[in-house]
Structure 1
Amino acid sequence: MLTHQLKLRKPLAVFDLETTGINMIKDRIVEISIAKANIDGTVTVKTRRVNPGMPIPLESSLVHGIYDEDVANEPNFKQIAKSMAQFLEGCDLAGFNSNRFDVPMLVEEFLRNDVDFDVKNRRLIDAQRIFHLMEPRNLGAAYKFYCQKELIDAHSAEADTIATLEVLNAQVQHYAGVKIKNAQGEEIEPVKNDMDALHEITASKIVDFAQRITYNKDGIEVINFGKHAGKPVLQVLKEEPSYYDWMMKGDFPMDTKRKLTEIKLRAFNNK
Protein backbone atom coordinates (compact mmCIF):
# COMPACT_ATOMS: atom_id res chain seq x y z
CA MET A 1 0.00 0.00 0.00
CA LEU A 2 1.35 3.39 -0.99
CA THR A 3 1.86 5.98 1.73
CA HIS A 4 3.42 9.45 1.94
CA GLN A 5 4.98 11.79 4.52
CA LEU A 6 3.78 15.08 3.10
CA LYS A 7 2.20 17.60 5.48
CA LEU A 8 -1.14 18.39 3.89
CA ARG A 9 -4.09 20.63 4.70
CA LYS A 10 -6.03 19.23 1.75
CA PRO A 11 -5.46 16.22 -0.54
CA LEU A 12 -2.70 16.55 -3.13
CA ALA A 13 -3.47 15.06 -6.55
CA VAL A 14 -0.22 14.21 -8.29
CA PHE A 15 -1.03 13.46 -11.90
CA ASP A 16 0.42 12.84 -15.34
CA LEU A 17 -1.11 12.95 -18.81
CA GLU A 18 -0.31 11.05 -21.96
CA THR A 19 -1.60 12.85 -25.02
CA THR A 20 -1.78 12.83 -28.80
CA GLY A 21 0.72 15.72 -28.83
CA ILE A 22 1.68 18.95 -27.08
CA ASN A 23 -0.71 21.42 -28.72
CA MET A 24 -3.22 22.29 -26.01
CA ILE A 25 -5.83 23.42 -28.52
CA LYS A 26 -5.63 20.61 -31.05
CA ASP A 27 -4.36 17.62 -29.07
CA ARG A 28 -6.25 15.39 -26.66
CA ILE A 29 -5.63 13.21 -23.61
CA VAL A 30 -5.21 9.45 -24.14
CA GLU A 31 -4.40 8.52 -20.54
CA ILE A 32 -4.57 10.18 -17.14
CA SER A 33 -3.12 8.78 -13.95
CA ILE A 34 -3.69 10.38 -10.55
CA ALA A 35 -2.04 9.49 -7.26
CA LYS A 36 -4.13 11.28 -4.63
CA ALA A 37 -2.10 11.82 -1.46
CA ASN A 38 -4.69 11.94 1.29
CA ILE A 39 -4.40 13.88 4.55
CA ASP A 40 -4.17 10.64 6.58
CA GLY A 41 -0.99 9.55 4.75
CA THR A 42 -2.66 7.05 2.42
CA VAL A 43 -2.52 7.27 -1.38
CA THR A 44 -5.34 6.50 -3.81
CA VAL A 45 -4.29 5.78 -7.40
CA LYS A 46 -6.65 6.13 -10.33
CA THR A 47 -5.60 5.52 -13.95
CA ARG A 48 -7.89 5.84 -16.93
CA ARG A 49 -7.29 5.55 -20.67
CA VAL A 50 -9.30 7.85 -22.89
CA ASN A 51 -10.44 7.67 -26.50
CA PRO A 52 -9.19 11.00 -27.90
CA GLY A 53 -11.59 10.98 -30.84
CA MET A 54 -8.69 11.45 -33.24
CA PRO A 55 -5.81 9.32 -34.54
CA ILE A 56 -2.81 9.13 -32.22
CA PRO A 57 0.27 10.19 -34.23
CA LEU A 58 2.86 7.43 -34.48
CA GLU A 59 5.58 9.65 -32.99
CA SER A 60 3.42 10.12 -29.87
CA SER A 61 2.61 6.41 -29.61
CA LEU A 62 6.32 5.59 -29.75
CA VAL A 63 6.85 7.80 -26.70
CA HIS A 64 4.02 6.59 -24.44
CA GLY A 65 3.26 3.18 -25.97
CA ILE A 66 -0.47 3.84 -26.47
CA TYR A 67 -1.84 3.18 -29.96
CA ASP A 68 -5.24 3.74 -31.57
CA GLU A 69 -6.36 0.15 -30.94
CA ASP A 70 -5.53 0.48 -27.23
CA VAL A 71 -8.13 3.23 -26.74
CA ALA A 72 -10.69 2.30 -29.40
CA ASN A 73 -13.14 0.95 -26.80
CA GLU A 74 -12.35 3.43 -24.04
CA PRO A 75 -14.69 6.30 -23.09
CA ASN A 76 -14.06 9.77 -24.43
CA PHE A 77 -13.14 12.55 -22.02
CA LYS A 78 -16.67 13.95 -21.97
CA GLN A 79 -17.92 10.66 -20.55
CA ILE A 80 -15.47 10.71 -17.63
CA ALA A 81 -15.05 14.46 -17.12
CA LYS A 82 -17.57 14.88 -14.28
CA SER A 83 -16.38 11.86 -12.30
CA MET A 84 -12.75 12.93 -12.80
CA ALA A 85 -13.57 16.45 -11.59
CA GLN A 86 -15.29 14.96 -8.53
CA PHE A 87 -12.21 12.84 -7.76
CA LEU A 88 -10.09 16.01 -7.93
CA GLU A 89 -12.57 18.08 -5.90
CA GLY A 90 -10.82 19.97 -3.11
CA CYS A 91 -7.35 18.81 -4.16
CA ASP A 92 -4.21 20.76 -4.76
CA LEU A 93 -2.44 19.67 -7.96
CA ALA A 94 1.11 18.45 -8.55
CA GLY A 95 3.20 16.90 -11.29
CA PHE A 96 6.47 17.08 -13.18
CA ASN A 97 6.48 20.03 -15.60
CA SER A 98 2.80 20.16 -14.72
CA ASN A 99 2.40 23.93 -14.58
CA ARG A 100 3.60 24.26 -18.17
CA PHE A 101 1.84 21.26 -19.67
CA ASP A 102 -0.34 18.87 -17.64
CA VAL A 103 -2.42 21.43 -15.72
CA PRO A 104 -3.15 23.67 -18.76
CA MET A 105 -3.97 20.61 -20.89
CA LEU A 106 -6.30 19.17 -18.24
CA VAL A 107 -8.07 22.50 -17.70
CA GLU A 108 -8.52 22.84 -21.46
CA GLU A 109 -10.10 19.38 -21.70
CA PHE A 110 -12.49 20.11 -18.83
CA LEU A 111 -13.58 23.44 -20.30
CA ARG A 112 -13.93 21.89 -23.75
CA ASN A 113 -16.39 19.42 -22.24
CA ASP A 114 -18.40 21.99 -20.27
CA VAL A 115 -16.92 21.21 -16.85
CA ASP A 116 -15.90 24.36 -14.97
CA PHE A 117 -12.62 23.16 -13.45
CA ASP A 118 -11.14 26.15 -11.63
CA VAL A 119 -7.58 26.15 -10.28
CA LYS A 120 -7.49 29.56 -8.62
CA ASN A 121 -8.13 28.12 -5.15
CA ARG A 122 -5.73 25.21 -5.61
CA ARG A 123 -2.03 25.14 -4.86
CA LEU A 124 -0.02 24.08 -7.91
CA ILE A 125 3.21 22.23 -7.12
CA ASP A 126 5.65 21.43 -9.93
CA ALA A 127 8.40 18.96 -8.95
CA GLN A 128 10.42 19.93 -12.03
CA ARG A 129 10.63 23.53 -10.87
CA ILE A 130 11.90 22.37 -7.48
CA PHE A 131 14.43 20.12 -9.21
CA HIS A 132 15.75 22.93 -11.39
CA LEU A 133 15.85 25.34 -8.45
CA MET A 134 17.78 23.01 -6.14
CA GLU A 135 19.93 21.30 -8.79
CA PRO A 136 20.89 24.16 -11.14
CA ARG A 137 21.60 23.20 -14.72
CA ASN A 138 24.20 25.90 -15.33
CA LEU A 139 27.89 25.81 -16.17
CA GLY A 140 28.96 25.90 -12.52
CA ALA A 141 26.78 22.89 -11.70
CA ALA A 142 28.02 21.00 -14.76
CA TYR A 143 31.64 21.80 -13.86
CA LYS A 144 31.14 20.45 -10.35
CA PHE A 145 29.32 17.31 -11.56
CA TYR A 146 31.62 16.33 -14.41
CA CYS A 147 34.95 17.75 -13.24
CA GLN A 148 34.50 17.65 -9.45
CA LYS A 149 35.78 21.23 -9.20
CA GLU A 150 34.28 24.55 -8.16
CA LEU A 151 34.08 27.17 -10.92
CA ILE A 152 36.09 30.19 -9.78
CA ASP A 153 35.46 33.56 -11.46
CA ALA A 154 32.19 32.36 -12.97
CA HIS A 155 30.88 34.68 -15.70
CA SER A 156 34.34 35.90 -16.64
CA ALA A 157 34.69 34.96 -20.29
CA GLU A 158 38.01 33.12 -19.93
CA ALA A 159 37.02 31.11 -16.86
CA ASP A 160 33.70 30.09 -18.44
CA THR A 161 35.39 29.19 -21.73
CA ILE A 162 38.02 26.97 -20.14
CA ALA A 163 35.45 25.35 -17.85
CA THR A 164 33.20 24.59 -20.83
CA LEU A 165 36.07 22.87 -22.63
CA GLU A 166 36.81 20.81 -19.53
CA VAL A 167 33.12 19.89 -19.14
CA LEU A 168 32.82 18.83 -22.80
CA ASN A 169 35.99 16.74 -22.51
CA ALA A 170 34.67 15.11 -19.32
CA GLN A 171 31.24 14.46 -20.85
CA VAL A 172 32.77 12.57 -23.77
CA GLN A 173 34.70 10.38 -21.33
CA HIS A 174 31.80 10.00 -18.87
CA TYR A 175 29.27 8.83 -21.46
CA ALA A 176 31.57 6.71 -23.63
CA GLY A 177 29.70 3.53 -24.49
CA VAL A 178 26.53 4.59 -22.63
CA LYS A 179 23.39 3.67 -24.57
CA ILE A 180 19.89 5.12 -24.29
CA LYS A 181 16.62 4.52 -26.13
CA ASN A 182 15.49 7.03 -28.74
CA ALA A 183 11.90 8.04 -29.48
CA GLN A 184 11.50 4.93 -31.65
CA GLY A 185 12.60 2.63 -28.81
CA GLU A 186 15.91 1.84 -30.50
CA GLU A 187 19.13 1.66 -28.48
CA ILE A 188 21.63 4.32 -29.53
CA GLU A 189 24.96 5.60 -28.26
CA PRO A 190 24.47 9.37 -28.62
CA VAL A 191 27.65 10.75 -27.01
CA LYS A 192 30.82 9.88 -28.89
CA ASN A 193 34.22 11.49 -29.19
CA ASP A 194 33.26 12.72 -32.64
CA MET A 195 32.11 16.22 -33.51
CA ASP A 196 29.62 15.05 -36.13
CA ALA A 197 27.90 12.89 -33.51
CA LEU A 198 27.89 15.70 -30.94
CA HIS A 199 26.47 18.13 -33.50
CA GLU A 200 23.75 15.61 -34.33
CA ILE A 201 22.46 15.51 -30.75
CA THR A 202 22.82 19.22 -29.98
CA ALA A 203 22.19 21.23 -33.13
CA SER A 204 21.08 19.12 -36.09
CA LYS A 205 17.42 20.22 -35.75
CA ILE A 206 18.16 23.95 -35.83
CA VAL A 207 16.91 25.96 -38.80
CA ASP A 208 17.06 29.46 -37.37
CA PHE A 209 18.31 30.25 -33.89
CA ALA A 210 15.09 31.98 -32.84
CA GLN A 211 13.24 28.75 -33.76
CA ARG A 212 10.63 30.56 -35.77
CA ILE A 213 11.22 27.80 -38.31
CA THR A 214 11.83 24.17 -37.33
CA TYR A 215 11.95 20.73 -38.92
CA ASN A 216 8.96 18.41 -38.69
CA LYS A 217 9.32 14.63 -38.27
CA ASP A 218 9.92 14.27 -42.02
CA GLY A 219 12.79 16.77 -42.03
CA ILE A 220 10.76 19.48 -43.77
CA GLU A 221 11.08 23.12 -42.65
CA VAL A 222 7.83 24.30 -41.06
CA ILE A 223 6.61 27.55 -39.53
CA ASN A 224 6.83 27.33 -35.73
CA PHE A 225 4.53 30.16 -34.61
CA GLY A 226 1.28 31.93 -35.33
CA LYS A 227 -1.59 30.91 -37.57
CA HIS A 228 0.64 28.81 -39.85
CA ALA A 229 2.33 26.82 -37.07
CA GLY A 230 3.22 23.35 -38.32
CA LYS A 231 2.76 24.17 -42.01
CA PRO A 232 5.67 23.68 -44.42
CA VAL A 233 7.37 26.99 -45.19
CA LEU A 234 7.13 26.47 -48.93
CA GLN A 235 3.41 25.69 -48.70
CA VAL A 236 2.81 28.94 -46.81
CA LEU A 237 4.88 30.98 -49.27
CA LYS A 238 2.97 29.44 -52.17
CA GLU A 239 -0.50 29.89 -50.69
CA GLU A 240 0.20 33.31 -49.18
CA PRO A 241 2.98 35.07 -51.16
CA SER A 242 2.67 38.22 -49.02
CA TYR A 243 3.80 36.23 -45.97
CA TYR A 244 7.43 36.48 -47.08
CA ASP A 245 7.30 40.27 -47.28
CA TRP A 246 5.51 40.43 -43.94
CA MET A 247 8.28 38.48 -42.24
CA MET A 248 11.07 40.36 -44.00
CA LYS A 249 9.60 43.70 -42.87
CA GLY A 250 8.62 42.42 -39.44
CA ASP A 251 10.41 42.39 -36.11
CA PHE A 252 12.24 39.11 -36.67
CA PRO A 253 15.97 38.35 -36.24
CA MET A 254 18.17 38.79 -39.30
CA ASP A 255 19.11 35.11 -39.03
CA THR A 256 15.45 34.11 -39.36
CA LYS A 257 15.01 36.35 -42.41
CA ARG A 258 18.17 34.93 -43.97
CA LYS A 259 16.98 31.32 -43.50
CA LEU A 260 13.55 32.15 -44.88
CA THR A 261 15.18 33.67 -47.95
CA GLU A 262 17.44 30.63 -48.36
CA ILE A 263 14.41 28.32 -48.34
CA LYS A 264 12.58 30.49 -50.85
CA LEU A 265 15.60 30.73 -53.19
CA ARG A 266 16.29 27.01 -52.93
CA ALA A 267 12.76 26.25 -54.10
CA PHE A 268 13.11 28.77 -56.95
CA ASN A 269 16.43 27.26 -58.08
CA ASN A 270 15.02 23.74 -57.98
CA LYS A 271 12.22 24.57 -60.39
Structure 2
Amino acid sequence: MVGDLFANERVLAFDLETTGIKTRTDKIVQYALIGSDACGTEISVEGLVNPGCLIPPRASEIHGIYNRDVMDAAPFVSHAQKMYDLMNGAIIVGHNVRRFDMPFLTTEFSRVGMLAPKPKAIIDTLEIVRKLKLPRPHNLGSLCNRHGVDLTNAHTAGADAAATLLLLWRVMKDNPQPFRQPILEIERWAIGQNISSDGSELGRGYDDLPPVDSAGRLRRDNENIILAFGRHRGKTIKQLVNSDLQYYNWLISSASGIDDEAIIELKAHVQ
Protein backbone atom coordinates (compact mmCIF):
# COMPACT_ATOMS: atom_id res chain seq x y z
CA MET A 1 0.00 0.00 0.00
CA VAL A 2 2.72 2.45 0.98
CA GLY A 3 4.88 1.43 -1.96
CA ASP A 4 2.00 2.04 -4.37
CA LEU A 5 1.30 5.45 -2.87
CA PHE A 6 4.84 6.68 -3.46
CA ALA A 7 5.54 4.75 -6.67
CA ASN A 8 7.42 6.77 -9.30
CA GLU A 9 7.87 9.70 -6.93
CA ARG A 10 10.93 11.28 -5.35
CA VAL A 11 10.20 11.03 -1.62
CA LEU A 12 12.44 12.85 0.84
CA ALA A 13 12.30 13.17 4.59
CA PHE A 14 13.50 16.66 5.46
CA ASP A 15 14.80 18.08 8.72
CA LEU A 16 16.72 21.14 9.87
CA GLU A 17 18.69 22.14 12.91
CA THR A 18 18.87 25.88 13.51
CA THR A 19 20.19 28.63 15.76
CA GLY A 20 16.70 29.16 17.20
CA ILE A 21 12.99 29.04 16.42
CA LYS A 22 12.43 32.44 14.78
CA THR A 23 12.16 31.84 11.05
CA ARG A 24 12.86 35.46 10.11
CA THR A 25 16.01 35.97 12.17
CA ASP A 26 17.50 32.58 13.07
CA LYS A 27 19.63 30.54 10.68
CA ILE A 28 20.07 26.95 9.50
CA VAL A 29 23.11 25.08 10.85
CA GLN A 30 22.37 21.58 9.52
CA TYR A 31 20.01 19.93 7.04
CA ALA A 32 19.21 16.41 5.92
CA LEU A 33 17.30 14.93 2.99
CA ILE A 34 16.76 11.18 3.29
CA GLY A 35 14.72 9.01 0.93
CA SER A 36 14.72 7.82 -2.66
CA ASP A 37 14.17 9.09 -6.17
CA ALA A 38 11.46 8.04 -8.62
CA CYS A 39 13.32 4.90 -9.69
CA GLY A 40 14.03 3.80 -6.12
CA THR A 41 17.66 4.93 -5.86
CA GLU A 42 18.53 5.88 -2.30
CA ILE A 43 19.14 9.55 -1.51
CA SER A 44 21.00 10.58 1.64
CA VAL A 45 22.26 14.14 1.75
CA GLU A 46 23.33 15.90 4.93
CA GLY A 47 25.26 19.09 5.44
CA LEU A 48 26.55 21.46 8.10
CA VAL A 49 25.93 25.12 7.31
CA ASN A 50 27.89 28.11 8.54
CA PRO A 51 25.11 30.45 9.70
CA GLY A 52 27.32 33.53 9.67
CA CYS A 53 26.52 34.17 13.33
CA LEU A 54 27.14 32.58 16.71
CA ILE A 55 25.01 29.61 17.71
CA PRO A 56 23.35 30.30 21.08
CA PRO A 57 24.46 27.85 23.81
CA ARG A 58 20.86 26.75 24.41
CA ALA A 59 20.48 25.70 20.77
CA SER A 60 23.79 23.82 20.87
CA GLU A 61 22.64 21.94 23.97
CA ILE A 62 19.63 20.67 22.01
CA HIS A 63 21.19 19.61 18.71
CA GLY A 64 24.83 19.22 19.71
CA ILE A 65 26.18 21.54 17.02
CA TYR A 66 28.62 24.15 18.30
CA ASN A 67 30.34 27.12 16.71
CA ARG A 68 33.54 25.10 16.22
CA ASP A 69 31.58 22.53 14.19
CA VAL A 70 30.42 25.03 11.57
CA MET A 71 33.46 27.30 11.56
CA ASP A 72 34.79 25.81 8.32
CA ALA A 73 31.41 24.80 6.85
CA ALA A 74 30.09 26.42 3.68
CA PRO A 75 27.39 29.10 3.94
CA PHE A 76 23.82 28.32 2.92
CA VAL A 77 24.25 29.74 -0.58
CA SER A 78 26.71 26.92 -1.35
CA HIS A 79 24.07 24.31 -0.47
CA ALA A 80 21.06 26.04 -2.01
CA GLN A 81 21.17 24.73 -5.58
CA LYS A 82 21.65 21.13 -4.48
CA MET A 83 18.72 21.40 -2.08
CA TYR A 84 16.55 23.05 -4.72
CA ASP A 85 17.27 20.35 -7.30
CA LEU A 86 16.38 17.58 -4.85
CA MET A 87 13.31 19.14 -3.26
CA ASN A 88 11.59 20.84 -6.17
CA GLY A 89 8.72 18.63 -7.31
CA ALA A 90 9.41 16.02 -4.62
CA ILE A 91 7.13 14.69 -1.90
CA ILE A 92 8.56 16.13 1.30
CA VAL A 93 8.01 14.28 4.58
CA GLY A 94 8.76 15.83 7.95
CA HIS A 95 7.57 16.35 11.51
CA ASN A 96 6.15 19.87 11.89
CA VAL A 97 7.83 20.51 8.56
CA ARG A 98 5.07 22.77 7.21
CA ARG A 99 5.24 25.28 10.07
CA PHE A 100 8.93 25.08 10.94
CA ASP A 101 11.38 23.59 8.44
CA MET A 102 9.82 24.84 5.20
CA PRO A 103 9.39 28.47 6.39
CA PHE A 104 13.03 28.44 7.57
CA LEU A 105 14.12 27.14 4.19
CA THR A 106 12.07 29.71 2.30
CA THR A 107 13.64 32.52 4.33
CA GLU A 108 17.16 31.24 3.69
CA PHE A 109 16.51 31.03 -0.06
CA SER A 110 15.15 34.56 0.01
CA ARG A 111 18.30 35.80 1.72
CA VAL A 112 20.47 34.49 -1.12
CA GLY A 113 18.14 35.82 -3.82
CA MET A 114 16.72 32.48 -4.95
CA LEU A 115 13.24 31.05 -5.20
CA ALA A 116 12.59 28.27 -2.71
CA PRO A 117 11.84 24.78 -4.05
CA LYS A 118 8.18 23.92 -4.55
CA PRO A 119 7.40 20.36 -3.44
CA LYS A 120 4.71 18.32 -5.14
CA ALA A 121 3.25 17.66 -1.70
CA ILE A 122 4.18 18.08 1.95
CA ILE A 123 3.31 15.17 4.22
CA ASP A 124 3.64 16.36 7.81
CA THR A 125 3.59 13.56 10.38
CA LEU A 126 2.59 15.99 13.13
CA GLU A 127 -0.49 17.00 11.14
CA ILE A 128 -1.28 13.35 10.47
CA VAL A 129 -1.08 12.12 14.07
CA ARG A 130 -3.22 15.05 15.18
CA LYS A 131 -5.75 14.35 12.45
CA LEU A 132 -5.86 10.69 13.49
CA LYS A 133 -6.21 11.80 17.14
CA LEU A 134 -3.42 9.51 18.26
CA PRO A 135 -2.53 9.65 21.97
CA ARG A 136 -0.32 12.50 23.13
CA PRO A 137 2.46 13.53 23.42
CA HIS A 138 3.04 14.21 19.73
CA ASN A 139 6.72 15.12 19.79
CA LEU A 140 8.88 13.04 17.48
CA GLY A 141 10.71 11.18 20.24
CA SER A 142 7.53 10.04 21.99
CA LEU A 143 5.86 8.98 18.75
CA CYS A 144 8.90 7.02 17.61
CA ASN A 145 9.12 5.26 20.97
CA ARG A 146 5.42 4.36 20.84
CA HIS A 147 5.66 3.01 17.28
CA GLY A 148 8.93 1.12 17.72
CA VAL A 149 11.09 3.47 15.64
CA ASP A 150 14.70 3.88 16.73
CA LEU A 151 15.69 7.52 17.26
CA THR A 152 19.31 7.29 18.29
CA ASN A 153 21.03 10.68 17.99
CA ALA A 154 17.77 12.60 18.29
CA HIS A 155 17.95 16.27 17.26
CA THR A 156 20.50 15.65 14.55
CA ALA A 157 18.98 16.38 11.16
CA GLY A 158 19.83 13.02 9.59
CA ALA A 159 18.52 10.93 12.49
CA ASP A 160 15.31 12.95 12.80
CA ALA A 161 14.64 12.81 9.05
CA ALA A 162 15.18 9.05 8.81
CA ALA A 163 13.06 8.40 11.90
CA THR A 164 10.24 10.56 10.55
CA LEU A 165 10.11 8.54 7.34
CA LEU A 166 9.91 5.29 9.30
CA LEU A 167 7.28 6.79 11.60
CA LEU A 168 5.13 7.68 8.61
CA TRP A 169 5.36 4.10 7.34
CA ARG A 170 4.29 2.71 10.73
CA VAL A 171 1.40 5.14 11.12
CA MET A 172 0.15 4.39 7.61
CA LYS A 173 0.36 0.65 8.25
CA ASP A 174 -1.57 0.95 11.51
CA ASN A 175 -4.17 3.36 10.08
CA PRO A 176 -4.53 2.44 6.39
CA GLN A 177 -7.96 3.92 5.63
CA PRO A 178 -6.99 7.61 5.11
CA PHE A 179 -4.07 6.63 2.90
CA ARG A 180 -6.15 4.85 0.26
CA GLN A 181 -6.28 7.98 -1.87
CA PRO A 182 -3.89 10.02 -4.02
CA ILE A 183 -1.04 11.78 -2.25
CA LEU A 184 -2.45 15.28 -2.83
CA GLU A 185 -5.75 14.20 -1.29
CA ILE A 186 -3.86 12.88 1.73
CA GLU A 187 -2.16 16.24 2.13
CA ARG A 188 -5.50 18.07 1.93
CA TRP A 189 -7.04 15.66 4.43
CA ALA A 190 -4.15 16.12 6.89
CA ILE A 191 -4.39 19.91 6.89
CA GLY A 192 -8.19 19.86 7.05
CA GLN A 193 -8.96 21.20 3.59
CA ASN A 194 -12.28 19.44 3.11
CA ILE A 195 -15.36 20.96 1.54
CA SER A 196 -18.08 21.43 4.16
CA SER A 197 -21.80 21.80 3.64
CA ASP A 198 -21.89 25.25 5.19
CA GLY A 199 -18.51 26.47 3.95
CA SER A 200 -17.13 26.69 7.49
CA GLU A 201 -13.74 25.13 6.72
CA LEU A 202 -12.71 26.70 3.44
CA GLY A 203 -15.14 29.56 3.32
CA ARG A 204 -17.17 27.88 0.59
CA GLY A 205 -19.83 25.19 0.42
CA TYR A 206 -21.24 22.80 -2.15
CA ASP A 207 -23.35 25.51 -3.74
CA ASP A 208 -20.16 27.32 -4.71
CA LEU A 209 -18.95 24.33 -6.73
CA PRO A 210 -20.24 23.69 -10.26
CA PRO A 211 -22.71 20.78 -10.50
CA VAL A 212 -21.96 17.62 -12.47
CA ASP A 213 -25.58 16.42 -12.63
CA SER A 214 -28.82 18.36 -13.07
CA ALA A 215 -29.85 17.96 -9.40
CA GLY A 216 -26.50 19.16 -8.04
CA ARG A 217 -25.92 16.00 -6.02
CA LEU A 218 -22.45 15.74 -7.54
CA ARG A 219 -20.11 18.71 -7.56
CA ARG A 220 -16.86 19.45 -9.33
CA ASP A 221 -13.85 20.65 -7.31
CA ASN A 222 -10.96 21.21 -9.72
CA GLU A 223 -10.11 17.69 -10.95
CA ASN A 224 -12.28 15.95 -8.35
CA ILE A 225 -15.96 15.04 -8.31
CA ILE A 226 -17.47 15.30 -4.83
CA LEU A 227 -20.62 13.76 -3.39
CA ALA A 228 -22.92 16.49 -2.07
CA PHE A 229 -25.56 14.20 -0.55
CA GLY A 230 -26.04 11.00 1.43
CA ARG A 231 -23.93 9.21 3.98
CA HIS A 232 -20.74 9.72 1.95
CA ARG A 233 -21.28 13.44 1.60
CA GLY A 234 -17.97 15.28 1.16
CA LYS A 235 -16.05 12.32 -0.26
CA THR A 236 -14.55 12.36 -3.71
CA ILE A 237 -15.70 9.68 -6.13
CA LYS A 238 -12.27 8.06 -6.03
CA GLN A 239 -12.42 7.93 -2.23
CA LEU A 240 -15.87 6.36 -2.50
CA VAL A 241 -14.61 3.64 -4.85
CA ASN A 242 -11.89 2.74 -2.35
CA SER A 243 -14.11 2.81 0.73
CA ASP A 244 -17.56 1.61 -0.42
CA LEU A 245 -17.59 0.02 -3.87
CA GLN A 246 -21.16 -1.22 -3.40
CA TYR A 247 -22.41 2.33 -2.91
CA TYR A 248 -20.48 3.47 -5.98
CA ASN A 249 -22.07 0.71 -8.07
CA TRP A 250 -25.50 1.86 -6.89
CA LEU A 251 -24.57 5.46 -7.73
CA ILE A 252 -23.79 4.61 -11.36
CA SER A 253 -26.96 2.54 -11.74
CA SER A 254 -30.34 3.82 -12.92
CA ALA A 255 -31.69 3.33 -9.38
CA SER A 256 -29.72 6.33 -8.11
CA GLY A 257 -31.58 8.77 -10.36
CA ILE A 258 -28.32 10.37 -11.52
CA ASP A 259 -28.42 11.70 -15.10
CA ASP A 260 -27.13 9.32 -17.76
CA GLU A 261 -24.52 11.85 -18.90
CA ALA A 262 -23.28 12.29 -15.34
CA ILE A 263 -23.02 8.51 -14.90
CA ILE A 264 -20.90 8.29 -18.04
CA GLU A 265 -18.62 11.00 -16.64
CA LEU A 266 -18.35 9.20 -13.29
CA LYS A 267 -17.28 5.98 -14.97
CA ALA A 268 -14.68 7.81 -17.04
CA HIS A 269 -13.45 9.66 -13.94
CA VAL A 270 -12.44 6.50 -12.06
CA GLN A 271 -10.82 4.69 -14.99
State the TM-score, normalizing by the size of structure 1: 0.46
**CA radius of gyration, larger in:** 1
State the TM-score, normalizing by the size of structure 2: 0.46
